């Protein structure tokens, strides 16, 4: 479930326009075994959305709403010279369009959401199988389509193609400049979150890719669903993050009927597997083959079946997403729900997580390549733990959330108690008024001095615990409590993290770096505050950490200030 797909260049144009037409629908809907299930789910979602507790939408409701939208959507490879109005007029012959937008990834794509699934069915009825000379095609029909312009003349008002908004994060240098223009560290943190978080369109596209994958898996399991989890939905996703998906077969568990009057009942005959793990491996292996051989747009399929959590990894080219598909991974769904809940409780949670994740990535503390680095998930848990340790705490402990749970929240997965409250209105927060600036500084201070050698980070208790094993960094897995989520982290990586926390904490205390420098429109802003913490020169600072330890503090500080000055006055181009 590693990070971003480097080649992804995804740009989106927000559509949001409601196109109403009065055209009749002549085509019947494709029916599948899942149709009623989907309708019921959408109905439930509509209810849940209106039943928002305390102004918070539940993750379940959000997901069901997005799934409904995705199932009414198609993804169309678009030609930049095709007239947009003509395109929409053509589509709206098939039904009302709720929303459409364009983005760029190996060409321009349009996501079109119809008002109903009939619109999609009607459009698909009209779509043709391409005829290609010298090549054979697998006639697997999906909602990924290509638009062909059969007329040669282009409309003169559409020479530049549809407008696409950037959908990847801004380059770090640009972000540093933007942040330096802000008037306070609090504003910098907020601005960073806004620049990095997933947009509405990117989030919809993630659900659409899940829905397209579901259509492939449905060839074997018509009642399955494919759901995103992890940062795509937990509220901490950054533009360009990977798409973690779960193939959910739980809905196929079969009806438990009461003793029928006839005294007879039927059961499906099923193949048996040695264990749940081997059943998951077989399912993913077959689906992987299908995605590889028949899945339009899916490339580089790898079956990673011997991992602790077996998965398929591939790139979905039309969206630019690096995808990981797992099955039978219910604990990860619970972790996603928990992170979402914490993020919803107080806006400072998301702001701090985004900032710390960005800071860590800039300095190579986290990486998209698997290795001995701290993962984004571990880092997020570290931020949550820190927020639980504030006085008064900003977020409650997991044990407290468990105490507040009602009977419907009860969840035990493979012997692990994953119960916690889902009703936001039951959670009483304490009145902590710390600013983002204070929290950021205190975060660095907290981990610069944390007794990692003896203690474990534990968000269930909200208190450090004695380390049960010798791993350099021990973060208790919130639900599988005997596991350490940061088992992979080696001593060197932990040392780098601690050193970076020390340096960052120190920098935030210096008036040269922690006060706004004033910015005049049109001039180059002077780097300050959070922007300073993201400067790449810090990496060099960390690399030279051992050497500097021997230097007196004054020498070290002088060196850091010197490096800051150099960064603020880049050499002029000759
Ligand atoms: P990015 O992909 O880096 O943006 O973050 P992510 O949160 O999506 O992380 P990742 O793709 O590595 O993992 C996806 C999800 O799997 C996480 O959000 C967690 O819910 C879960 N997960 C990942 N690693 C662990 C782990 O070590 N233990 C547990 N319990 N869950 C994990
Ligand atoms: Mg992920």
Long-range CB pairs of 489-492 (<8 Å, 24+ gap) are 489/372, 489/373, 489/374, 489/378, 490/372, 492/372
Kindly tell me if the per-residue pLDDT of 466 is higher than 80.
Answer: yes
Could you tell me the two tokens for 14?
């927000």
Element (H, E) at 12: strand 11-12
Greatest CA separation found in the chain? 93
Measured between alpha carbons, how far is residue 94 from residues 67, 120, 150 in Å? 21, 7, 19
335 within ligand 1 shell (Cβ under 6 A)? yes
Q: Which-ligand-closest: CA of 335?
A: 1
pLDDT at res. 325: 98
Rounded to the nearest whole angstrom, what is the distance from the C-alpha of residue 9 to the centroid of ligand 1?
Answer: 23
pLDDT at res. 131: 79
pLDDT at res. 284: 97
**Measured between alpha carbons, how far is 267 from 256 in angstroms, rounded to an integer?**
10
Question: If 0-12 CB within 10 Å is exposed, 13-18 middle and 19+ buried, where does residue 375 land?
Answer: buried
pLDDT at res. 26: 30
Beta bridge partners, 303, equal 312
**Measured between alpha carbons, how far is 479 from 545 in angstroms, rounded to an integer?**
36
1 within ligand 1 shell (Cβ under 6 A)? yes
The residue whose C-alpha atom lies closest to atom 10 belonging to ligand 1 is 1
Rounded to the nearest whole angstrom, what is the distance from the C-alpha of residue 536 to the centroid of ligand 1?
Answer: 26
| Single pTM value for the model | 0.85
Beta bridge partners, 304, equal 311
Helices 59-71 and 330-345, axial angle in degrees (round to 10): 110
Kindly tell me if the per-residue pLDDT of 536 is higher than 50.
Answer: yes
Kindly tell me if the per-residue pLDDT of 524 is higher than 60.
Answer: yes
Question: Ligand 1 pocket test: which of 237, 243, 244, 485 has the largest number of ligand atoms within 8 Å of its C-beta?
Answer: 244
Pairing of strands 321-327, 243-248: parallel
Could you tell me the two tokens for 414?
């493979």
Kindly tell me if the per-residue pLDDT of 543 is higher than 50.
Answer: no
**Best CA proximity match to 212, nearest among 271, 136, 140:** 140
For the segment 128-152, the average pLDDT, to the nearest whole number, is 83
**Best CA proximity match to 418, nearest among 487, 481, 486, 343:** 481
For the stretch 311-345, pLDDT in tens is 999 999 999 999 999 998 899 999 999 999 999 99
Kindly tell me if the per-residue pLDDT of 263 is higher than 50.
Answer: yes
Element (H, E) at 498: helix 491-509
For the stretch 4-26, pLDDT in tens is 333 333 343 333 333 333 222 23
HEC states along 433-467?
CCCHHHHHHHHHHHHHCCCCCCEEECCCCCCCEEC
CA quadruple 398, 402, 404, 408: dihedral positive or negative?
A: positive
Go through the chain and tell me how many residues it has: 574
pLDDT at res. 2: 45
Higher pLDDT, 18 or 358: 358
Half-sphere exposure of 68 toward its Cβ, with a 13 Å CA cutoff? Answer: 21
**Best CA proximity match to 4, nearest among 244, 272, 201:** 244
In the chain, what percentage of residues exceed pLDDT 90?
A: 65
328 within ligand 1 shell (Cβ under 6 A)? no
Rounded to the nearest whole angstrom, what is the distance from the C-alpha of residue 375 to the centroid of ligand 2?
Answer: 10
Could you tell me the two tokens for 206?
């993630």
pLDDT at res. 514: 80
**Best CA proximity match to 324, nearest among 363, 298, 293:** 298
Q: Any idea which residue has 């491996």 for tokens?
A: 281
pLDDT at res. 121: 96
Rounded to the nearest whole angstrom, what is the distance from the C-alpha of residue 244 to the centroid of ligand 1?
Answer: 8
**Measured between alpha carbons, how far is 527 from 533 in angstroms, rounded to an integer?**
9
**DSSP labels for 281-345?**
HHHHHHHHHHHHHH-TTEEEEEEETTSSS-EEEEEETTTTEEEEEEES-HHHHHHHHHHHHHHHH
Please state which of the ranges 35-44, 254-263, 402-411, 475-484 shows the lowest mean pLDDT: 35-44
Pairing of strands 108-114, 298-304: unpaired
pLDDT at res. 32: 36
**Ligand 1 atom closest to 377 (CA):** 7
Element (H, E) at 11: strand 11-12
**Measured between alpha carbons, how far is 224 from 141 in angstroms, rounded to an integer?**
18
Q: Which-ligand-closest: CA of 361?
A: 1
- Any idea where the domains of the chain sit in the sequence? 346-516+525-539
- Is 394 within 8 Å of 400 (Cβ atoms)? no
- Is 99 within 8 Å of 86 (Cβ atoms)? no
- Is 181 within 8 Å of 529 (Cβ atoms)? no
**Measured between alpha carbons, how far is 538 from 536 in angstroms, rounded to an integer?**
5
Please state which of the ranges 38-47, 240-249, 402-411, 455-464 shows the lowest mean pLDDT: 38-47
For the stretch 227-238, pLDDT in tens is 999 999 999 999
pLDDT at res. 537: 61
Rounded to the nearest whole angstrom, what is the distance from the C-alpha of residue 351 to the centroid of ligand 1?
Answer: 19
For the stretch 55-79, pLDDT in tens is 678 899 999 999 999 999 999 999 8
In the chain, what percentage of residues exceed pLDDT 70?
A: 80
pLDDT at res. 370: 85
Rounded to the nearest whole angstrom, what is the distance from the C-alpha of residue 377 to the centroid of ligand 2?
Answer: 8
Question: What average pLDDT does the structure give for the chain?
Answer: 84
Rounded to the nearest whole angstrom, what is the distance from the C-alpha of residue 143 to the centroid of ligand 1?
Answer: 29
Rounded to the nearest whole angstrom, what is the distance from the C-alpha of residue 569 to the centroid of ligand 1?
Answer: 40
Most confident of 132-146, 162-176, 406-420: 406-420
343 within ligand 1 shell (Cβ under 6 A)? no
**Ligand 1 atom closest to 335 (CA):** 20
Q: Any idea which residue has 């062909």 for tokens?
A: 148
The residue whose C-alpha atom lies closest to atom 17 belonging to ligand 1 is 230
Kindly tell me if the per-residue pLDDT of 39 is higher than 50.
Answer: no
The residue whose C-alpha atom lies closest to atom 24 belonging to ligand 1 is 377
pLDDT at res. 13: 39
Helices 200-217 and 59-71, axial angle in degrees (round to 10): 70
Helices 436-448 and 347-362, axial angle in degrees (round to 10): 50
User: Cα 89 from chain centroid?
Assistant: 34
Could you tell me the two tokens for 559?
């060196």
503 within ligand 1 shell (Cβ under 6 A)? no
pLDDT at res. 410: 96
Please state which of the ranges 109-123, 135-149, 400-414, 452-466 shows the lowest mean pLDDT: 135-149
| Architecture category of domain 346-516+525-539 in CATH | Orthogonal Bundle (1.10)
Question: Ligand 1 pocket test: which of 5, 230, 311, 476 has the largest number of ligand atoms within 8 Å of its C-beta?
Answer: 230
Measured between alpha carbons, how far is residue 252 from residues 80, 205, 228, 271, 335 in Å? 43, 26, 19, 15, 23
Q: How many helices (H) and strands (E) does the chain have?
A: 19, 15
Kindly tell me if the per-residue pLDDT of 361 is higher than 60.
Answer: yes
């Amino acid at each position: 479930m590693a990070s971003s797909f480097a080649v992804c260049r995804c740009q989106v144009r927000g559509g949001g326009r409601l196109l109403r037409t009065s055209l009749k629908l002549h085509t019947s809907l494709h029916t599948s075994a899942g149709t009623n299930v989907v309708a019921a789910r959408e109905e439930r979602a509509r209810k849940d959305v209106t039943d928002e507790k305390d102004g918070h939408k539940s993750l379940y409701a959000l997901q069901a709403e997005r799934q409904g939208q995705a199932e009414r959507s198609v993804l169309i490879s678009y030609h930049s010279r095709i007239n947009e109005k003509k395109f929409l007029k053509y589509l709206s012959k098939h039904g009302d369009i709720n929303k459409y937008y364009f983005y760029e990834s190996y060409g321009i794509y349009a996501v079109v959401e119809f008002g109903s699934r009939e619109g999609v069915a009607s459009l698909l009825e009209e779509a043709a199988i391409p005829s290609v000379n010298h090549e054979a095609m697998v006639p697997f029909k999906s909602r990924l389509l290509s638009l062909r312009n059969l007329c040669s003349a282009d409309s003169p008002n559409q020479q530049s193609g549809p407008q696409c908004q950037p959908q990847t994060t801004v380059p770090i240098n640009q972000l540093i400049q933007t942040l330096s223009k802000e008037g306070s560290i609090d504003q910098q943190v907020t601005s960073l979150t806004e620049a990095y978080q997933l947009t509405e369109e990117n989030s919809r596209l993630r659900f659409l890719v899940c829905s397209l994958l579901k259509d492939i898996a449905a060839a074997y399991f018509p009642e399955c669903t494919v759901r995103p989890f992890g940062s795509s939905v937990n509220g901490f996703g950054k533009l360009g993050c990977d798409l973690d998906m779960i193939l959910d077969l739980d809905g196929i568990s079969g009806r438990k009927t009461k003793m029928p009057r006839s005294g007879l009942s039927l059961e499906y005959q099923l193949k048996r597997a040695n264990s749940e793990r081997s059943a998951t491996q077989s399912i993913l292996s077959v689906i992987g083959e299908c995605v590889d051989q028949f899945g339009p747009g899916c490339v580089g399929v790898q079956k990673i079946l011997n991992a602790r959590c077996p998965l398929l990894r591939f790139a979905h080219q039309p969206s630019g997403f690096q995808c990981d598909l797992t099955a039978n991974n219910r604990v990860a769904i619970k972790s996603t729900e928990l992170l979402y809940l914490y993020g919803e409780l107080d806006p400072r949670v998301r702001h701090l997580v985004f900032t710390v994740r960005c800071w860590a990535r800039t300095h190579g503390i986290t990486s998209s390549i698997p290795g001995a680095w701290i993962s984004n998930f571990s880092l997020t848990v570290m931020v949550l733990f820190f927020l639980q340790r504030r006085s008064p705490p900003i977020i409650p402990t997991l044990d407290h959330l468990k105490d507040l749970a009602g009977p419907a929240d009860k969840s035990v997965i493979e012997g692990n108690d994953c119960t916690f409250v889902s009703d936001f209105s039951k959670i009483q927060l304490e009145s902590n008024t710390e600013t983002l600036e204070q929290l950021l500084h205190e975060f660095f201070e907290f981990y610069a001095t944390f007794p990692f050698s003896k203690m474990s980070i534990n968000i269930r208790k909200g208190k450090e615990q004695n380390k049960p094993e010798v791993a350099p960094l021990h973060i208790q897995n919130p639900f599988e409590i005997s596991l350490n989520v940061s088992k992979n982290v080696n001593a060197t990586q932990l040392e780098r993290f601690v050193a970076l926390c020390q340096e960052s904490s120190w920098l935030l205390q210096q008036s040269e770096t922690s006060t706004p420098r004033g910015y005049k429109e049109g001039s180059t802003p002077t780097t300050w505050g959070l922007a300073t913490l993201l400067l790449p020169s810090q990496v060099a600072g960390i690399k030279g950490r051992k050497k500097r330890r021997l230097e007196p503090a004054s020498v070290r500080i002088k060196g850091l200030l010197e490096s800051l000055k150099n960064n603020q006055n880049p050499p002029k181009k000759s």
